Chain A
């Protein structure tokens, strides 16, 4: 159980001696044979299929897996919030000997917050935006009568101090939107731990945060487990998992497919899917290589079959895989894998050329993307006749890019400046003298920490915010600047489209996918009726979504599917410029990889210019031709991507590279 690697993983003592078995029993989570399904319009969605694990006091189990693999459903089931429509069965689902499948509503209320707590992703929406931080934390204290009424305020302040929030008295009076992302997440954690729960469930607790802030929040969670709480950590970020977990369980299609210590799972993965997941981390790949192993997302697959759920995507699949499901079997001490052909640990990591298009009728892969798919699955040299071949040359997008005329500038940004009034009355310079040019069909990566002015710049490029100084030129016209009216932009509006981090915020939750995309299609002038519907299906196909999703609503889609819908909407009016503001930051790596690949395909197919904003240098490096590094509203470095990222000239760029784990 000990990992001693120096790459940020916490060194843990060997399995702790537990004082006595009774106390141990007291707070151990046992999940055995958990099944969760949702009845959905006559069709059952089997989200969790026979998941088993235990978490001992003070230990951390990490659940990783792509979007839709059932991580969140597992987590919510443990706290009894899987929803009215969920059917839950388990051989054993208990915490500290208390059967969680047989609790009355009143008993559940005592367990929730009191013994088991849940921490969700972004505290901006996970804390009630209308209430103060104090009210939110006090609610937990009051519900569980943790401290006498008179001491509640005092306890709120001490909790805030405990989670590392400076000036707790002032912060307690503020509302979530008045706090930075990191402080907000700490306040959320404070409200979760207020009643002293023994088990914390953290569902993507750091996904919405900057790298530097992420580290602090993770350290806080680590401290809590050191104090004896158990942690069920859900994350798509393998670096996060490596830092905290005692044990990692990899989920695929509602099943645990591999389980072991971080050393075993991350360094010697045996399951082809785990291998693909690790390979999909963008920072390990240069521009032009494809990241995703396949376009189909887990929830799109027909997984009810008798065989291995991964068979449709697996390079090693044979007849046995397709007919018989492998059970979890020992691959080493404490290391379990569910696979008929486990990849041997020392096999070289090899990338294969694009797979042939799958036969028509197989809906495993969305047609629009199938042609461009290359499978990046690791293959052991010892397996059957498949001889390993190295991926030859750049990806499909590259040749077009090389041949493009450099002088064809689509977007020119000239000395942009914008100031905002801070709450205390002082002026804050959000952007200052930002200058760059973006030729048609190319990608400019804008990178920097939160607050560095990336989004402000994007909003000025979009014409959503008037700059105080400078001009934005689009297609040779004055597009934004002092005195440019919205009216003059309107005829060209459709040529500039945007994609944001969380499409949920911009989608009406009541609309179906069809209606959401049809809205954008209507703007592009396609008349109502069969033509519009056909275009919607066509667009969904282009972004790799099946027409079966047409009548789903945003909340019924996984994060990756939502972002695909957002992309479908963005390309509907056939724009020339796409502004992407952290488009993949909320997604797990394998989905991130698919979306980045999709973006590359769209760019190549439509000749799109892309302004790509991210705090993640790995992502930026993967997509960008040129890179602009921003800090405190200013450009600190700009140049060709490879040059900036391999030979950074500015200290700040070097710091960013270091904290992203990329060594120049």
Chain B
């Protein structure tokens, strides 16, 4: 049993490594696939560097060596945590990302948490209830899903910051400044999550064990939260994990709208100035987030549904 457990864990770790190597390769590929001379990109469009200087840079950065060697060098650097220097900002990439990543993670986590809470409340309140309530909830979820986060953000800003002055317009000084951006991101997530959760709850509520629980004297709400919720939680978690991966796009937009510091501004700057080391670093970061959330989701799923334990070990 313990051997199988360990081999299960080993398989998962191996998968994580594969994903990270994939992300690194993708980043490396991106660097070498964009058209143009590496050195010109590095120096930027307005540089007047002499050919000698350019040759010097070329050999310093190793651009003149064979691609395979560059690739191997890059991987070994990544493993040792060296992501290189930014072309534009004369700072190590790791320091740049490290300096900006916290507000973004804060925002993403707050948005995800808020989305889960909204989804849970609306699904639990309406699952198995009167059709009128359900269609109302479904309608709002549909609207929420199809509204882009930046648009929601602008609306929220107009209403709560410009008109009512309840929340600050920009910045990331305190928790108050987190509320609106997190809400803007959370609403569309909550729409999808709420729909999946309600469906899961209703499937569970139709099972005989739900009838048994009601026959024991539990209220409909108690059956939903104590029994059905766990059954609906596994698909919900899987989806939430998957959505985390797609959150980056929304984050960039929302950070821009609300003028928040974070990876968003860094990404925009790096992409527009072709600051390749930074772009590559961010690709790696996304890979890391993906790996961590899927591990987390798998772990939580096993906690929620003990029947998965055997399977988790076997996979």
Contact = CB atoms under 8 A, between A and B. Distances in A.
Chain B: number of interface residues, binned into ranges = 20 to 34
Contact of B211 (A81, A105, A131): A81
Contacts of A112: 214-217
Interface of A: 76, 79, 81, 84, 105, 109-114, 117-118, 120-122, 125-131, 139-140, 143-144, 175, 177, 188, 191-192, 195, 425, 509, 555
Nearest to B207: A125
**Nearest 3 Cβ contacts at the A-B interface:** A118-B215, A113-B217, A113-B216
Given A120-B211, A140-B216, A143-B216, A177 B307 contact: yes
Contacts of B5: none
Given A130-B306, A130-B307, A140 B208 contact: no
Given A128-B213, A509-B203, A105 B219 contact: yes
A122 B307 contact: no
A131 B1 CA distance: 22
A530 to B, nearest CB: 31
B211 A121 contact: no
Given A126-B211, A139-B213, A555-B206, 9 more contacts: A105-B219, A120-B212, A127-B209, A127-B212, A130-B307, A131-B230, A191-B216, A509-B203, A509-B206
B306 A175 contact: yes
Chief secondary structure at chain B's binding surface: helix
Contact of A120 (B208, B219, B227): B208
B1 A114 contact: no
Contact of B215 (A81, A130, A175, A555): A81
Interface string B227-267: 10011000000000000000000000000000000000000
B305 interface: yes
Nearest to A110: B217
A125 B208 contact: yes
Contact of B217 (A125, A128, A143): A143
B214 A81 contact: yes
B212 A109 contact: no
Contacts of B304: 130
Nearest to B199: A510
A155 to B, nearest CB: 15
B218 interface: yes
11 contacts: A112-B215, A113-B216, A113-B217, A118-B211, A120-B208, A125-B207, A125-B209, A126-B211, A129-B307, A188-B212, A509-B206
Contact of A109 (B208, B209, B219, B306): B219
Contact of B216 (A125, A131, A139): A139
B307 to A, nearest CB: 7
Contacts of B214: 81, 112
B219 A144 contact: no
A144 B230 CA distance: 23
Nearest to A175: B306
Contacts of B216: 112-113, 117, 139-140, 143, 191-192
Contacts of B230: 130-131
A126 B218 contact: no
A349 B211 CA distance: 42
B212 A118 contact: yes
A563 B137 CA distance: 36
